[in-house]
Amino acid sequence: MKQRVVVRVEIFREGDLYVGLCPDLEVSSFGETITEAKDSLREALEAFLDECEAMGTLEEVLEEAGYLRQDGTWLPRQPVSAELVALG
């Protein structure tokens, strides 16, 4: 991939595995350790972005996911506030 893309990564424990998630691009993967989950997610993201680039849709996909290009780097949107809210 020729373009630089910064992604938000979240890691969750599900049973005996760790799940890595990039919520902005809806890409996920897993591993038996946090490091394995991160590495697996990085590979999945690189494959996803490479395929988008090969299809000529990378910019469209990133823009639809809320990314902005700044100084040649694609950055995810940043919330002005984030919190967990309990309902019900």
Tens-digit pLDDT profile for the chain (88 aa)?
Answer: 678 999 999 999 999 999 999 999 999 999 999 999 999 999 999 999 999 999 999 999 999 999 999 999 999 999 999 999 999 9
pLDDT value for 3? 85
pLDDT value for 84? 92
Structural domain contains residue 88: no
Distance CA 70, CA 82 (A): 23
Query: Which DSSP symbol is given to 80?
Result: S
Radius of gyration of the chain from its Cα atoms, rounded to whole angstroms = 15
Beta strands 73-75; 4-5: pairing state: parallel
Domain holding 40, by residue range, is: 4-75
Structural domain contains residue 14: yes
DSSP string, 5-72: E----EEEEETTEEEEEETTTTEEEEESSHHHHHHHHHHHHHHHHHHHHHHT-HHHHHHHTT-EEETT
CATH of the domain at 37: 3.30.160
pLDDT value for 1? 64
Structural domain contains residue 85: no
pLDDT value for 2? 76
pLDDT value for 73? 97
Q: What are phi and psi of 77, to 5 degrees?
A: -65, 145
Structural domain contains residue 52: yes
